[in-house]
Structures are given as structure tokens and as C-alpha cells.
């Protein structure tokens, strides 16, 4: 039984803290019936009744709140800000990868061709050296 009372007391404290945070962070237009100071005092002196009253009567219901666009760090509303795109979804990044791969492949092919020419040249020299009679 003691545990039940302890749990109910803890729930009451958590409810009061949530109500205080909600009351203190609400904008002036969202507070109904009484001024903010009166709501804070009611929640502090009568935690259970005050918290329930705040959530039931004191604040504007979330469904009727007008949606406001909060400016973020760059001054644009959230829906107007450009979303960052993951590299594997960014067409510009993908095309730059394709270009880089094409250049790398061309460079590798050019080196292989040079190496092949050099080796062919060495083989020709060796064959020429063998075919020449010694003096």
C-alpha cells in the first residue's frame, strides 16, 4: 500500500511539473480564464487540482491553436527551408561521381596503353638484338 501511495505521489509531482512547464512556456494568447501568475500559484498550492484545471481549462487546446512558422537560424520558416539531401540521393553529387569515375578510367586506360607500348617496344628491341649477327 505504501508503494501505491508513493507511486501516486510521484505521478502528482510529475503532473505538476509538466503543468508548470506548460504554463510558463505558453504564449500570452494561449492562456485562458486567468492570468499566468494566477495559474502558476494555483498549480503550486494545489498541485493535483491545479494541474488538471490548467490542462482542462487554462490553456488553448492544441487542435485550435493556429500554426505559426517559427523562424529558425537562417530566418526561414521550417517548410520554406531547403532540406539537406543525402549524398546518394543528390543528382549533382551522383553525376560528379560518374564524371570522376570516367576520368579515372580514362587515365588508367591511358597508362595501360603506354605500358603496353613500352613493353612492345622492349620486345621488338630484344628480337632485333637476337636477329642481328654478332661481329
pLDDT at residue 71 above 90? no
Average pLDDT over residues 122-128: 89
What is the number of other CB atoms lying within 10 angstroms of the CB of residue 23? 22
Average pLDDT over residues 51-58: 92
pLDDT at residue 73 above 70? no
Average pLDDT over residues 41-64: 86
- Are 51 and 7 members of one domain? yes
pLDDT of residue 87: 74
With vertex at residue 107, the alpha carbon angle to CA 105 and CA 109, rounded to the nearest 5 degrees, is: 70
- Structural domains counted in the chain: 2
On whether residue 91 sits in a domain, the answer given is yes
Of 58-67, 83-92, 99-108, which one has max mean pLDDT?
A: 99-108
pLDDT of residue 77: 58
70 contact partners, CB below 8 Å, separation of at least 6: 77, 78
**For 29, phi and psi rounded to 5 degrees?**
-75, -15
pLDDT of residue 32: 87
On whether residue 36 sits in a domain, the answer given is yes
pLDDT of residue 82: 64
| Residue 14 belongs to domain spanning | 1-63
On whether residue 69 sits in a domain, the answer given is no
pLDDT at residue 38 above 90? yes
- Are 91 and 133 members of one domain? yes
Amino acid at each position: 500500500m505504501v508503494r501505491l501511495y508513493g507511486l501516486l505521489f510521484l505521478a502528482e509531482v510529475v503532473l505538476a511539473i509538466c503543468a508548470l512547464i506548460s504554463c510558463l512556456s505558453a504564449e500570452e494568447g494561449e492562456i485562458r480564464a486567468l492570468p499566468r501568475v494566477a495559474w502558476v500559484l494555483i498549480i503550486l498550492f494545489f498541485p493535483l487540482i491545479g494541474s488538471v484545471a490548467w490542462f482542462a481549462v487554462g490553456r488553448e487546446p492544441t487542435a485550435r491553436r493556429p500554426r505559426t512558422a517559427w523562424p529558425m537560424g537562417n530566418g526561414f520558416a521550417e517548410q520554406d527551408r531547403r532540406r539537406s539531401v543525402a549524398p546518394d540521393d543528390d543528382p549533382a553529387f551522383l553525376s560528379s561521381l560518374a564524371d570522376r569515375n570516367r576520368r579515372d578510367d580514362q587515365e588508367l586506360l591511358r597508362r595501360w596503353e603506354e605500358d603496353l607500348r613500352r613493353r612492345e617496344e622492349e620486345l621488338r628491341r630484344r628480337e632485333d638484338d637476337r636477329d642481328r649477327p654478332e661481329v
